[in-house]
Amino acid sequence: MLKKLLLALCIGGLSLSACAAENDAAPIAAPAVTPAAQQMVRQAIHSLAANVQVDSIEPAPMPGFYQVIAAGQLLYVSTDGKYAMHGDVIDLSRKQNVSDDAWARFRKAELAKVPASERIVFAPPNPKYTVTVFTDVNCGFCRALHEHVAAFNKAGIAVEYLAWPREGVVTTAGRPTPTYTEMVSVWCAKDRKAAFTAAKEGRAPAPAACANPVKDEFELGVKLGVSGTPSIYGPDGRMLGGYVTPEQLLQALKQGG
């Protein structure tokens, strides 16, 4: 579904970037997202890929467009439904990527819906910062990142892991992927943190099954635009990178205020 949407955008020549320049004229008010406007935007998106889920429709930061998040992509759809753009919008007056702002708001809101009970948390007593990390227990960079977890905590950073098996949830044959099965066993372990760390060290957990959030967290990652692991998000929803050292992560968090 996601690939179909991207392919349609690329083939159709709709992949563009746009810039908003500062001038003396009063800004043109963004169009309200009425029920009719929402229906029009959804129809425009579904004309590219019929089954794509549209997660967010807002007024765009430039006139004449709506800002849309769908299938892990941020798009701009014209208010008449005739045009779409896929790319970044730069506010030249602020020298800031407003597309990143939109993603950050969306991710922050969606991540806030995940309860602490569904995360695997490594945190100091009084953290200064909290990051969310989509992770795969078998990826090399994820394992390298977890080796620093004590140092992250020492720096005042709480690390909250969500499951994102890179192989996906099911194979093309419809069977659970090996990594998904292993991550379910981790999330269903009596001591999740111990099982998680053991898996990161190459020691597979004892098989276990229970009601678990692994599939939901994988789908959430796709919705938020995750395409690889580790993917680290700050408390404001900003993407902070993949593998980083404690020093690099602390610096990125400080820059974000």
- Give me the active site residues, please: 136, 139, 142, 166
Q: How far apart are CA 217 and CA 114, in angstroms?
A: 9
- What are the angstrom distances between the C-alpha of 224 and each of 68, 71, 109, 127? 13, 8, 11, 25
Please provide the size of the chain in residues.
257
Query: Residue 71 has which token pair?
Result: 């299938």
Question: In this structure, what DSSP letter does residue 75 have?
Answer: E
**Bridge-based pairing state of the strands 73-78 and 89-91:** unpaired
Q: How far apart are CA 135 and CA 180, in angstroms?
A: 11
Q: How many CB atoms lie within 10 A of CB 24?
A: 4
Q: How far apart are CA 234 and CA 179, in angstroms?
A: 26
